[in-house]
Amino acid sequence: MQIVLRHFATSRGSILHAFDAWLNQCAMSSRPPDEHNSVPLAVEMARINSARSGDEDAFRQLFEHYQPTISKQMRRSSRDRVLVENLVHDVFVEAFMSLENFKGRSPFEHWLRKLAVRVG
């Protein structure tokens, strides 16, 4: 699931390398989704704002909550488990890099799904 992002500058690349390792660790420990577990909008926005400020735990919580949804979406285009994992990884790297672009005019899940369409 490791992706090398060579097109980024060296300093940004080292940040992405550390993020990449951390995201892989989250993927290995993510829990199965609870279908009835919806996060209140205020809690979700607090997590998004914390993640924007560099709070790794907040981004991990977003990842754990939305990873099953994005995985399911990616499995529609490929049955290759490794490819799906790589695509999901790429979606969350893109989300991490683009969090400041999320305006909150639509649900965060919709924004992630749009990223998934572009990545996939």
Query: Is 60 part of any domain?
Result: yes
pLDDT the model gives residue 66: 97
| pTM of this structure | 0.68
Query: Is 80 part of any domain?
Result: yes
Give the count of domains, the chain: 1
Choose among 41, 97, 110, 103: nearest CA to 69.
110
- The CA–CA distances, whole Å, from 95 to 12, 34, 80, 90 equal 15, 22, 22, 8
- CATH at 66: 1.10.1740.10
Confidence of residue 1 (pLDDT cuts 50, 70, 90): very low
- Say yes or no to pLDDT of 91 above 70: yes
Percentage of residues in the chain having pLDDT higher than 90? 62
pLDDT the model gives residue 9: 37
Structural domain range at position 63: 39-119
* Burial letters 89-102, b for 16+ CB under 10 A, else e: bbbbbebbeebeeb
Query: Is 29 part of any domain?
Result: no
